[in-house]
Amino acid sequence: MSVTPMMAQYLAIKAEAPEALLFYRMGDFYELFFDDAVAASAALDIALTKRGQHLGQDIAMCGVPVHSAENYLMTLIRKSFRVAVAEQLESPEDAKKRGYKSIVARGIVRLVTPGTLTEDTLLDARAHNYLAAWCEVRGKGALAWADISTGAFHVAECPRVRLGPDLARLGVAEVVLGENSGVEGIVEEQGAAVTPLGRSAFDSGSAEGRLKALFDVGSLDAFGTFSRAELGAMGALVEYVELTQRGKLPLMRPPRREATSELMAIDGATRRNLELTRGAGGGRDGSLLWAIDRTVTAGGGRLLERRLSAPSTVEAVIKARLDAVSWAVTNDAMGNDIRSRLQHAPDMDRALSRLSLDRGGPRDLAAVRGGLEAGEALFSYLSETDLPLDISDMIGQDALLSLLSAALATEPPLLLRDGGVIAPGYDADLDEARKLRDEGRGVIAALQAEYAKATGITSLKVKHNNVLGYFIEATATHADKMRADERFIHRQTTANQVRFTTVELSELETKILNAGGRAQSIEDRIFAELCARVLTASNAIFGVARTLAELDVATALADLARGESWTRPRVDSSRAFDIDAGRHPVVERALKRDGAPFVANDTRLTAENGAAIRLLTGPNMAGKSTWLRQNALIAVLSQMGSFVPADAAHIGIVSQLFSRVGASDDLARGRSTFMVEMVETAAILNQADERSFVILDEIGRGTATYDGLSIAWATMEHLHDVNRCRALFATHYHEMTALSGKLSGVENATVAVREWDGEVIFLHEVRDGAADRSYGVQVAKLAGLPEAVVARARDVLQALEEGERAGGANPRALIDDLPLFSATPAPAPAPKAKSAAEDRLRDVLPDELTPKEALDLLYELKRLADG
């Protein structure tokens, strides 16, 4: 069976991207065939149909409308598909010129992958979408990453051991790796898509040439000195972008070499435990970012997330950021005014990227115009103030701004083909074409009046038919007069009428008939000229966008500080860690929403020469984990350049942050809950140094009591003697409180509780000292365990405690004597009888009591209680 020309074309294009679903453009639809159609129909929940046969088999088919394709692309990308988009490269009319049966030429114009998205509908406006490439040369690794939707491009040294933490910090969507790199598991563990690329793409020699061509420079020295691994990673990333964009490279800024030693190191487990940018459900809700983000621009939101994900360890950088926030706190009226002005600042970074890829529209140009206007206005407003930010980048584009203001319509349409993009009065030819398109009849009427006046023939008419087109008609009695005027050219004579034309009328006819197309053509040309002008000034526009984002972050953090009564931390190069009345920002926000107060606590963890560890004991539900986490979050907030939820804070710069909190398994990798706990603990003990800050919660709880106690004990000693770090260590093993007398850097702390009539009351207050017991049975009762289970637990606990006091008798023998193991199970305890005082109170209506009656009732209740 022969293959139709269209199907032959489809199969040839599909062979270019066998690993991707092929969106094959046919008119107003993208069609999918064969296995692609089966997979897409299931993923998108759309109908699967058939279209003819191929090699004796029915051809499966499904399709999506072009105008709503982005929604379907988003679904497919989120389900880990890659999509190749094949567009029509010519019109059907042009195809017919090559032969009546010729089919429209088509070709892949882009590959849509998780790391190469640019459309607003496919991206989170307040988060970066990074594509990364990792390269290793002779044992030295490097990571390059870029957000092609904003043009950001970075590179850093990245040995294999740092790859996981760096990917977690960046939240990378897709990672390009060489064949047999051996790090695929690390990438997948961070939730990023893995894309293999040939080894030649990572060659540092060819990579250097590729980068020079991209940035049109003769040498990369102006951008920094790069290692072979760094060049290889950057070159592979650029080659992959070129591959997916089919040779149309996006606008990318020169690579910025990042020193990871200047950033607080936070591994993936710690980020998850502390919920820095993602909450327990995987989204922003419940995260620290959710609690602090008050930015009003997309660029500001992305900058805030970057700073939160990578707090600085450079004292001068931290101080500069805090100075900017302090200025906005002090000048609150100006800060609020800046925020109000910024609300109208569009996302210039992503607009520029789309324009550079020919995916931009009129509103992207309008976004550039709006951003430049916002920059000019804010510079004028702030230039005479003592704002500690360099805002000089916001000016200097007067010519471009004037051009865009004059050329662009006030509110341009979404699509260029809709027309009305260019403002009236900017281009005379365009105005004329529009007038002819929109007011053709009026123009003809004006010309008719002009001819009638010139000839003195009031009955002269300009008419139109399908044979002659536009013509001038007069009665036969006026024919000689018309012929005497050289302007009029005879066309036709009828019984009673004579018809003429003029060169002017013929030209006008052509213009009217072609006015719509001509107007669109002129708008297309002017739009392309404006895009080229904007892209020429891209570096300056990026500078405006960067400054607007910095202003947004500073004023947003100031608004947060004022609204939540946060204070400026003191951050220096010491090993201090002193916090007065610290609070957990996320928990406090949740409690405030419910109208409940948050109990603030102090932390004293300053270390002079050696370790400083607080060993925390107390019952579950008392707030131990909250206290541990809030101190880690205060360190992160301080070093990202934010005020903190405390009355005062002195933080010596933390180089590494480690958290081992919570219980989870990793069954897909064959790890039990206890195994995950031990792996994370091992990472801490192997990496933490004296400038690290560590929080550990319930180490050793996933195994037998004595095993767990032994592991926790040895871990504490290692933290103290070897790591010599600042740490908070929560435990249920009360035996460990003895370490405070053996290790000079360890002090005991406990979360205070009170017990009343068998009930436990949590005070959420951290005090010096050790807990007397765990109150586990009381917490079990609060959780809703049946009363019989709670009562039985009390009996077992009492027997064990009495046996221990009696000399450590065999616990099993003690329990065997309890009724649980007798032939008849212990009956459920009888319900507690109500007291006479409770019966009397049941009948009281407090609102109806006089003060005298209330006092008498109080004495009566006292007598009843005393019996």
Residue with tokens 């800050």: 693
Q: Is 254 within any annotated ligand binding site?
A: no
DSSP conformation letters of 287-352: SHHHHH----SHHHHHHHHHHHHS-B--HHHHHHHHHHHHHHHHTHHHHHHHHHHHTT---HHHHH
Q: How do strand 612-617 and strand 746-756 relate by DSSP bridges?
A: parallel
Helix (H, G, I), strand (E, B) or coil at 458: coil
Q: Which two tokens stand for residue 571?
A: 């951050």
Residue with tokens 């039985």: 792
233-256 burial, b at 16+ Cβ within 10 Å, e below that, comes to: bbbbbbbbbebbbeeeebbbbebe
Q: Is 625 within any annotated ligand binding site?
A: yes
Q: Kindly list the distances between the CA atom of residue 22 and the CA atoms of 14, 83, 251, in Å, as whole numbers in the listed order.
A: 6, 6, 26
| CA-based nearest residue to 504, from 480, 476, 471, 478 | 471
Helix ranges restricted to H, 18-83:
34-44, 69-78
Q: Is 640 within any annotated ligand binding site?
A: no
Q: What is the CA radius of gyration of the chain?
A: 38
Q: How far apart, in whole angstroms, are the C-alpha atoms of residue 299 and residue 276?
A: 19
Outline where DSSP puts E strands in 401-508. Answer: 461-465, 469-475, 489-493, 497-501
Question: What is the three-state SS of 71-137?
Answer: HHHHHHHHCCCCEEEEEECCCHHHHHHCCCCCCCCEEEEEEECCCCCCCHHHCCCCCCCCEEEEEEE
| CA-based nearest residue to 433, from 524, 520, 505, 526 | 520
Q: Which two tokens stand for residue 780?
A: 């079990």
Q: Is 619 within any annotated ligand binding site?
A: yes
Measured between alpha carbons, how far apart are the two ends of the chain, in Å?
A: 104
Q: Which residues pair with 726 in a beta bridge?
A: 612, 693
CB 653 within 8 A of CB 267: no
Q: Is 6 within any annotated ligand binding site?
A: no
* Phi, psi torsion values for 342, nearest 5 degrees: -70, -25
Q: Which two tokens stand for residue 57?
A: 């088999």
Helix ranges restricted to H, 641-735:
673-687, 705-718
Helix (H, G, I), strand (E, B) or coil at 418: helix
Torsion of the alpha carbons at 90, 93, 94 and 95, rounded to the nearest 10: 80
Q: Kindly list the distances between the CA atom of residue 218 and the CA atoms of 211, 213, 223, 568, in Å, as whole numbers in the listed order.
A: 10, 8, 12, 47
CB 524 within 8 A of CB 361: no
Residues contacting 487, CB < 8 A, separation 6+: 502, 503, 504
CB 747 within 8 A of CB 613: yes
Q: Provide the CB-side half-sphere exposure for 3 (13 A, CA).
A: 11
Residue with tokens 């008050």: 294
Q: Is 370 within any annotated ligand binding site?
A: no
Q: Is 296 left (phi over 0), alpha (psi -120 to 50) or beta?
A: alpha
Q: Is 620 within any annotated ligand binding site?
A: yes
| CA-based nearest residue to 554, from 377, 396, 347, 390 | 390
Q: Is 563 within any annotated ligand binding site?
A: no
Residues placed in the known binding site for ATP: 618-625
Residues placed in the known binding site: 618-625
